[in-house]
Amino acid sequence: MRKEEAKKRIEKLREVINHHRYLYHVLDKQEISDEALDSLKHELYKLEQQYPEFITLDSPTQRVGGKPLEKFKKKGHETPMLSLEDIFLEKELQDWQNYLKRLEPSAQLEYFTELKIDGFAVALIYENGLFAVGATRGDGRTGEDVTQNLKTIESIPLRLDLRTSDVRKGVVEVRGEVYMEKKDFERLNKELEKKGEKTYANPRNLAAGSIRQLDPKLTSSRPLKFLAYDIITDFGQRKHSQEHQILPALGFKTDPGRICKNLSDVLIFWQEVAKKRENLPYQIDGIVINVNDNSLFEKLGVAGKSPRGARAFKFSPKQTTTKVSDIKLQIGRTGAATPVAVLEPVEVGGVIITRATLHNEDEIKRLGVKIGDTVIVERAGDVIPDVAKVLPELRSGKEKEFYFPKTCPSCLAKLSKPEGEAVWRCPNPNCSARRRKNLYYFVSKKALDIDGLGPKIIDKLIDENLISQAADIFTLREGDLVPLERFAEKSAKNLIEAIQKSKKVPLSRFILALGIRHVGEETAI
């Protein structure tokens, strides 16, 4: 990307991010997912790192949260409530450690890792042991005074247990997350829906909306909880891990976390958490990694809006943003012509994707997608990724319209669309693309399930003119396979044996393998 193009892209990204952050933080509304917004912020951060001369004081990367609403009193933070820089990849984790070592070459790095609860950050201030003031993060320097609402949360102690402390008569500040458990969120959302009231997209939005109610009675009716993660007050703690021992002694619930001696330990913790996250009672979106030595943490300082000594290592998003570099037509085994977005490579759900389905011509029109657009792509489970939304506000003016082809890209037959259907089809049964896809299906796991015969081998056999239709597979001999690349006598023998074995599949599986339109697994039986 040229410098001038990068500047325009940065400006567009800032405009869009600021718009969605205002909706979320100020108006309690949400038009795109947190993951999609994170992806845009990540792109902006990377571009600003590449072109630091374009960083401005009002860039979204330089501030935290949103402006406080006028309906609450404003409350300043003596120590700014910073947010954490996100990382998603193991390489980014290693890059961060390398960065720390460049800053402090002699430092012995030890980390404290804990769950990153997807909640609403607040600061609690105690005077002489009594809860005095509670404030939201706001823009990091000034939040909203929501003391009365926070007092309704049972897990926030109104008086600290300071029997073992020498700060009984001073000020104590604790920070943490207000959250709602998943079961409570589902129950409450159903109740709101029955009453015809506004429902919420996720537990964090509901927690935030509950804390920012003018009537504390409404807040008290909602099952909110608080989890502490930081102590601003000096209790003599030399390590962050010690704070997690002090917090329960003061009367707070906290995540026990884990001390990690190196990045390998951090990765093990992250992987363990990733496996159990769905079974946790509350939503988490990753882990927090802190340099455990508090003096080193302070010495490392702050870069922009984030402490250098901490990172949020998030789970791979199921939604993210990328750009459409092209749109191509893919012909399926039944002739269905499916438009596919060719994407700039991006990780979604732990997998690098380069393509996403656009389903059909009607979906392209509904989305309004153009070649060159920035889009939100999503992937759930093993489902093929698709384009969920276009972000037209990020257009540069160089995007190109996509006009649905009238002919098959493989055989050039005229496409047809039967009345009442949304899908254009290639009517030519001898279309090479259709025949190739039929062969893929014929040998697939749910059909004949021929071990060792997948799309790549099928392609090789077609290219060598050894097969052109399903019946040809059963005429193959070991001598046909041995000369092919990556085949030896043993692998050729194994494949021929697998082909012979497939002749004994149940009749229903054979019928299914024929790929007859409208004949699925149930009909085949």
> What residues are annotated to the active site?
116
Tokens matching residue 127? 């005077």
* Lookup: tokens for 157: 């102690």
Phi/psi zone of residue 359: left (φ > 0), alpha (ψ -120 to 50 degrees), beta? left
Q: How many angstroms separate the CA atoms of 485 and 460, rounded?
A: 9
Q: Are 30 and 24 in contact (CB under 8 A)?
A: yes
399 in Cβ contact with 370 (< 8 Å):
yes
List, as one string, the DSSP characters of 244-264: HHHHHHHT--B---EEESSHH
Neighbouring C-beta atoms of residue 336, cutoff 10 Å: 17
Written as six digits, the tokens of 504 are 């004994």
Sheet holding 171-179: strands in order across? 130-136, 120-127, 171-179, 225-231
Q: Tell me if residue 467 falls in helix, strand or coil.
A: coil
CA distance 459 to 391: 37
The single-letter code of the amino acid at 324 is: V
The DSSP secondary-structure symbol of 67 reads P
Please tell me the distance from the alpha carbon of residue 250 to that of residue 68, in angstroms, as a whole number.
29
What's the rounded Cα separation, in Å, for the pair 33 and 35? 5
DSSP letter string, 82-119: --PPEE-SHHHHHHHHHHHHHH-TT----EEEEEEE-S
**Amino acid at position 424, single letter:** W
Q: State how far the Cα of 266 lies from the Cα of 288, in Å rounded to an integer.
A: 10
Give Rg (Cα) of the chain.
Answer: 29
What DSSP string describes 318-361? SEEEEEEEEEEEEE-TT-BEEEEEEEEEEEETTEEEEEEE--SH
Token pair, residue 416, equals 């047809």
CA distance 275 to 350: 13
Amino acid at 514: L
Residue 453's SS3 state is: coil
d(CA 125, CA 105): 37
